Amino acid sequence: MNEPIRLQKYLAQCGVASRRKSESLITAGRVSVDGLVVRDMGVKIIPERQQVLFDGKKIAQQEPKVYILLNKPRGYVTTLADPLGRPVVTDLLKNSNLRLFPVGRLDLDTEGALLLTNDGELAQKIQHPSHEVTKTYEATVSGYPSPKKLSALEKGISLEGKMTSPASLRIIKRYSSSSRVQIIIHEGRKRQVRKMFAAIGHPVINLKRLAYGSLSLGNLGEGDYRHLTSRDLLKIFKNIPLQKRK
């Protein structure tokens, strides 16, 4: 059931002004409810059923900002809906009535760290190239990339007519017919890591994003998520230096 709330409290929740200042705005006749100017401090409203205007403009409650780090499994798409009926990442969130959206994307077969939020300003900041937020991946690739090929990726290669920015790569482990490579980039082109390795003749077999900046998955299980704190968000922009290949 929708609960009534004092008008001045509602104005404060909408970010119009503090509750005390909102009282002054009401007595000044600058607030109307359902088309009628209100000056009485005792008025209560039901926000879901009534329209409140401040200086003739509709106001609404601000949703609390939410930031989630999800360990995305394979087989999920990073959209809010899929015309093909495939599962979407928000299906993994439990008891969330907020409209959250993914920051950037991971393709269907890529797993790992994915941020979800309702804060468009922060999402834009993370994705804009000028902020150079690093993303750390672990890629299992076919064969054994030579030092020369890895160096080429570090310096930048031409993909679809545009050079990639400098990256950091190092071999983590070699298997019988493949290699596990850490790669750190700060760009976000579509399927970029896969295209980079394909360009040097070592296609990606498996790909996982481990971190945004220095905010890592840690021990977060596949399909699990956690809410981020302000300290966590700072880690995104404290970019770790690009490591030299070993």
* Domain harbouring 152, CATH code: 3.30.2350.10
Interatomic CA distance for residues 224 and 176, integer angstroms: 32
Q: How many other CB atoms are found less than 10 A from the CB of residue 32?
A: 16
Interatomic CA distance for residues 205 and 170, integer angstroms: 17
Domain check: are 110 and 183 in the same one? yes
Q: What is the pTM of this model?
A: 0.75
Choose, from 107, 119, 224, 232, the residue flagged as catalytic: 107
Total count of domains within the chain:
2
Q: Rg of the chain over CA atoms, in angstroms?
A: 24
Interatomic CA distance for residues 211 and 115, integer angstroms: 10
Length of the chain as a residue count: 246
Interatomic CA distance for residues 244 and 218, integer angstroms: 23
Which DSSP letter does residue 94 get? -
pLDDT for position 246: 36
8 Å CB contact between 173 and 179: yes
Comparing CA positions, the residue from 204, 148, 212 lying closest to residue 181 is: 204
Report percent pLDDT > 70 for the chain: 95
**Does 203 score more than 50 pLDDT?**
yes
Q: Residue 124: pLDDT band by 50, 70, 90 thresholds?
A: confident
- Give the strand pairing for 178-185 and 168-174: antiparallel
Task: For residue 145, give the 3-state DSSP assignment.
Answer: coil
In the residue annotation, 107 being an active-site residue is answered as yes
pLDDT for position 88: 92
**Does 123 score more than 90 pLDDT?**
no
CB neighbour list of residue 81: distance below 8 Å, 6 or more residues apart: 88
Domain check: are 43 and 160 in the same one? no
Domain check: are 128 and 147 in the same one? yes
Give domain status of residue 142, yes or no: yes
Domain check: are 79 and 23 in the same one? no
Domain check: are 77 and 105 in the same one? yes
CB neighbour list of residue 97: distance below 8 Å, 6 or more residues apart: none
pLDDT in tens, 58-93: 988 777 888 999 999 999 999 878 889 999 999 999
Measure the CA angle with vertex 108, ends 105 and 112; round to 5°. 60
Dihedrals phi, psi of 51, to nearest 5 degrees: -105, 125
pLDDT for position 240: 45
Give domain status of residue 206, yes or no: yes
pLDDT for position 118: 85
pLDDT for position 138: 98
**Most confident region among 6-10, 71-75, 117-121 by mean pLDDT:** 71-75
Range name among 115-124, 169-178, 235-244 with the lowest pLDDT average: 235-244
Measure the CA angle with vertex 196, ends 195 and 198; round to 5°. 60
Domain check: are 117 and 22 in the same one? no
Element (H, E) at 148: helix 147-155
Domain of residue 192, residue span: 67-237
